[in-house]
Amino acid sequence: MAPTIVGLISDTHLDSLTPQLLDAIETHLSDAHVLLHAGDVTAPTLLDELEARGYDLLAVRGNMDIHPEMAVRLPRTRILEFAGVRLGLCHGWGAPQGIRSRVLDDLGGPDEVDVVVYGHTHHPDDQVERGVRFINPGSPTDKRWAPHRSLARLVISSPQSLDVDFIRLD
């Protein structure tokens, strides 16, 4: 069975698709079966433009997604399954300290998901906490609190084999 490749992005904070973001996605995530956006898209135009380019895109609402259409279009959380792996998608909120625990509780706890993809901190992260793997791709556009801009590529070969590659963009 071929692995499932999931492109991970978060915290784009853009009104529309920029050439730089499009280049990063096309260069590093072109083989992804699906793109997951962990919130703070900011405007529905960005979602529309990625979907118009043929990307299978699933996103959640972040704290900066205040455009009225975003509340209708994007849920706060999603639980998805890829190759037998239950993946929770949630943006997160509040201080970086304790964010993984807050997000996991919002998704229903460790019995509900195997992996959590989250955002909010803009900082790339790959940790195991409470028996769940947490992945934050960072932000491809804003390194506010992080050492660099980034996105990530998750390769799921089986429920026991998950590899994440962080792509540094600057």
User: Is residue 144 scored above 80 in pLDDT?
Assistant: no
Q: Angle at the Cα of 103 (from 98 to 105), degrees rounded to 5? A: 100
User: Is residue 1 scored above 80 in pLDDT?
Assistant: no
Could you tell me the sign of the dihedral formed by the alpha carbons of 128, 116, 68, 144, in that order?
Answer: positive
Q: Residue 130 has what pLDDT?
A: 94
Q: What percent of the chain has pLDDT over 70?
A: 100
User: Is residue 146 scored above 90 in pLDDT?
Assistant: no
DSSP 22-64: HHHHHHHSTT-SEEEE-S--BSHHHHHHHHHTT--EEE---TT
Q: Residue 143 has what pLDDT?
A: 75
User: Is residue 155 scored above 90 in pLDDT?
Assistant: yes
User: Is residue 145 scored above 80 in pLDDT?
Assistant: no
- Band (pLDDT 50/70/90 cuts) for residue 34 is very high
Residue of 102, 85, 104, 84 lying closest to 93 (CA atoms): 102
CA pair distance 152, 144, nearest whole angstrom: 18
Q: What percent of the chain has pLDDT over 90?
A: 92
User: Is residue 132 scored above 90 in pLDDT?
Assistant: yes
Q: Residue 131 has what pLDDT?
A: 96
pTM of the full structure: 0.96
Q: Which domains does the chain have, with CATH numbers?
A: 4-168 (3.60.21.10)
